[in-house]
């Protein structure tokens, strides 16, 4: 199936995040980490979410695979994000991106035979996946592409 809408993840507050409920909205998926050089991108992610939440959902997926930069508990991560960056967009519990324990959502995001669009490799924290209103993968951007970069802003505004 070539739609992200088939997935459900555990939210950081133990609620369920059902991607099917996001049908009709664009989705930006970002693997996040609290101790990364890109952590300040949380601020721009929150700004983007606040400005466009009528047509965009951002899902932050904590991951400790890259440099061990997300070592905290779910409670610690949630507190850090809300206290330091005012994060209100959905955050999931921590997942693994790298083999051998790759979470199914990242297996889907990174393999063309599953997502129908392209193969990709998550290189570091704050790697971004853009999905359209039907849940199809549209584009992938590295950590160095900030959430308010023109390429992302142009996509959101379309």
Q: Which residues are catalytic?
A: 36
* Sequence-ordered list of residues with C-beta below 8 angstroms from that of 2, at least 6 positions apart, any chain: 114, 115, 116, 117, 136, 137
**β-sheet bridge partners, residue 141:** 128
Dihedral angle computed from the Cα positions of residues 49, 44, 11 and 29, in that order, rounded to the nearest 10 degrees: 80
**What strands lie across the sheet with 137-141, from one edge to the other?**
56-62, 26-32, 128-131, 137-141
Extract the tokens encoding 33: 């980490």
CA 28-15-130 angle, to 5 degrees, is 10
């Amino acid at each position: 199936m070539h739609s992200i809408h088939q997935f459900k993840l555990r939210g950081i507050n133990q609620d369920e995040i059902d991607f099917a409920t996001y049908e009709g909205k664009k989705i930006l998926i970002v693997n996040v980490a609290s101790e990364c050089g890109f952590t300040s991108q949380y601020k721009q992610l929150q700004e983007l979410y606040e400005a466009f939440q009528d047509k965009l959902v951002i899902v932050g997926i904590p991951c400790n695979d890259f440099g061990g930069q997300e070592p905290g508990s779910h409670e610690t991560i949630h507190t850090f994000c809300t206290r330091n960056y005012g994060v209100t967009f959905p955050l999931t519990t921590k997942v693994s991106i790298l083999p051998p324990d790759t979470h199914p959502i990242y297996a889907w995001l990174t393999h063309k035979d599953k997502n129908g669009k392209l193969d990709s490799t998550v290189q570091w924290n704050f790697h971004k996946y853009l999905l359209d209103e039907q849940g199809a993968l549209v584009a992938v951007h590295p950590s160095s592409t900030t959430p308010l970069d023109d390429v992302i802003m142009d996509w959101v505004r379309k």
